[in-house]
Amino acid sequence: MTPARPLPVIAIHGGAGTMSRSDISSEQHTAYHAALNGILRAGQKVLAGGGSALDAVGMAVELLEDCPLFNAGHGAVFTHDETHELDAMVMDGATRRAGAVACVTRIRRPVRAARAVMERSGHVLLVGPGAEAFAAEHGLEMVAPGYFSTDARRQQLRRALSSDKAVLDHDGAALVFRNAPIDEDRKLGTVGAVALDARGNLAAATSTGGMTNKRPGRVGDSPVVGAGTYADNRTAAISCTGTGEMFMRTVAAYDICARMAYAGQSLGEAAQTVVMQVLPAIGGRGGLIAVDAQGNLSLPFNTEGMYRGWARVGEAPVTAIYACHADTVDVAAGAAS
């Protein structure tokens, strides 16, 4: 008997962090779950229609970039100089092609620019004005830098400036985020998606405003191949969120694939080891979402919560915020009937 084909599946994250100090109403929780749910359904629809994992993760991350509840695109954090510098990357597990942009200030949808870099530039990573010129030449939507600003992020910067630290995205918001389930002053802020499609291909995408109060010119893990984003059909697709410097130093996403390929670890073992042992050993905080070629999922984090969810084709999406249930961290593959 031939083994059952895994169901196509998409998983997303919207950053990790500590629980809010505020009392959170059920309406506030509902708003976050509803946003994650709607984005998962959109990605699920792409996969159900025979779309590629690459298309599904691109669409999901664009929707996350546009959603002001999460830190990427509109609502991105501020640098120390009160500017925005955005990073994004996509990777195709079938071919191991990758595309990324970093330190861009005027591209409305950085993840779309990352895909254009992958498909049309002959390069992997373009930064700053060169990346913006490339995006404009290829007809991508450009915006004034103020498009990304919100009052909440500006106040987050003020608080970070007074402590003179670079803080993870959701470690520094304010007003509109005061009642978010994950404390905006202690939250990491990046969005991402991973998917397995009906043809068995994997893909990953990540987009971020980086860390509040970061030094201009700083690039985090998100647009660095193998650090914050990686995809390889032979092992897994991964998108990370957290203290980018530590994810870069541990080559976190690639380490999971290497453990699977060289040490025969399962996705869950490899992802848990990296998030619960390798990263904390050097002070790394955050989490990641991962899917393997058999459709198993792993969504570990070493903070109190991580906005996350997944949806298999034909099944209701599942969304979660806190670390309450083990079955929202490691999830076995579903089989197509």
Give dist(CA 121, CA 174) in Å, integer.
Answer: 39
Q: Is 110 in the site for ligand ASP (CB under 6 A)?
A: no
> CB of 244 within 8 A of CB of 210?
yes
Tokens read off for 192: 């991402």
Question: What proportions of the chain, in percent to the nearest 5, are helix, strand and coil?
Answer: 35, 30, 40
- State the catalytic residue, choosing from 105, 190, 208, 250: 190
Closest CB to ligand ASP among 228 and 295?
A: 228
Q: In this chain, which of 169, 184, 255, 330 binds ligand ASP, going by CB under 6 A?
A: 169
Q: How many residues bind ligand ASP (CB under 6 A)?
A: 17
Q: Is 228 in the site for ligand ASP (CB under 6 A)?
A: yes
Q: Is 208 in the site for ligand ASP (CB under 6 A)?
A: yes
Whether residue 190 lies in the annotated active site = yes
Instruction: Give the nearest residue (CB) to ligand ASP.
Output: 244
Q: How far from chain centre, in Å, is Cα 196? A: 16
Contacts of 212 (CB under 8 A, 6+ apart): 77, 78, 153, 156, 157, 160, 166, 167, 168, 169, 171, 172, 189
Give dist(CA 29, CA 11) in Å, integer.
Answer: 19
Give dist(CA 269, CA 256) in Å, integer.
Answer: 9
Q: In this chain, which of 10, 104, 211, 225 binds ligand ASP, going by CB under 6 A?
A: 211
Helices and strands (H and E) in the chain: how many: 8, 16
Closest CB to ligand ASP among 189 and 309?
A: 189
Give the footprint of ligand ASP on residues 23-42 (CB under 6 A).
none
Q: Is 105 in the site for ligand ASP (CB under 6 A)?
A: no
Give dist(CA 42, CA 76) in Å, integer.
Answer: 22
Q: In this chain, which of 53, 188, 237, 267 binds ligand ASP, going by CB under 6 A?
A: 188
Question: With CB under 6 A as the contact rule, which of the stretches 105-113, 139-147, 178-186, 238-246 interacts with ligand ASP?
Answer: 238-246
Q: Is 300 in the site for ligand ASP (CB under 6 A)?
A: no
User: Which positions lie near ligand ASP, rule CB under 6 A?
Assistant: 15, 168-169, 188-190, 208, 210-211, 220-222, 228, 241-242, 244, 286
Active-site residue list: 190
